[in-house]
Amino acid sequence: MKFLKPILSILSVAVVFCITPINSVVYAANMTSETSNSNFSVSVQNDNFKSDYFYAPVPLTEEEKAAALRAPVNPFVTVPSKSLKSSSDILFAEPAIYYEFTFLGKDRSITSIDSVNITEKSNVYVSLVQWSPSSSAHPKLTYTLKNANTGRETDPITVEKTYTSENTGISWGNVLPGKYHLVIKNIGNHEAAGNGFANAYKIN
């Protein structure tokens, strides 16, 4: 069974998803371990994986698998759009991260090449669609934000459902200033595909 592969419109930024998982506050000041983007190699194809928006997939460690399995699944809470008083509440006029990928293998992780650069405490949201390109089963992916300077990640959010005809949203609240990449991990039993965008909103 093949699903349509929708491409999210940037105009969708008008539809705001402000979903905050439990314990999602990012304590950037306490992050200590160092990492560098030079450790990643850009690849448009790794096995069947294809994308121009991510570094090459890497295998999940046992620790990452365990953390992903403990993550809350589909913890969505919709905040009314009236909570945004004006367009100035958006830190970026365009999505800070736009992405597409397909054929992400089981137990593989990908890190976005682009990043969200936050200059003040913010809520970071991701608007997304996802599906399995090789199965009718629902994909099971976890999403996190990774601090580019320290390598520390936010609490993961698991999305275990197919979204193709409409997008869904997730977010992390009270994210401290810093540069963050989007990390997607496939903890399901089938290849996964998806696209979406990430951005940050001011905390009023």
CA angle, corner 26, sides to 158 and 171, nearest 5?
Answer: 40
Grade residue 11 by pLDDT with cuts at 50, 70 and 90.
Answer: very low
One of 3.30.470.20, 2.60.120.380, 3.30.70.1140, 3.30.70.20 is the CATH number of 10-81+88-202, namely: 2.60.120.380
* DSSP class of 152: -
Let me know the angle formed at the C-alpha of 21 by 32 and 145, rounded to the nearest 5 degrees.
40
- 48-69: pLDDT as tens digits: 999 999 999 999 999 988 888 8
Q: Residue 185: pLDDT above 90?
A: yes
SS3 for 98-133 is EEEEEEECCCEEEEECCCEEECCCEEEEEEEEEECC
104-140 pLDDT, tens digit each:
999 999 999 999 998 888 888 898 999 999 999 999 9
Q: Are the beta carbons of 142 and 68 closer than 8 angstroms? A: yes
Beta bridge partners of residue 112, listed in sequence order: 54
Q: Dmax of the chain from CA atoms?
A: 47
**Mean pLDDT computed over every residue of the chain:** 75
Domain ranges, ordered by start, for the chain = 10-81+88-202
51: which 2 tokens?
């994308």
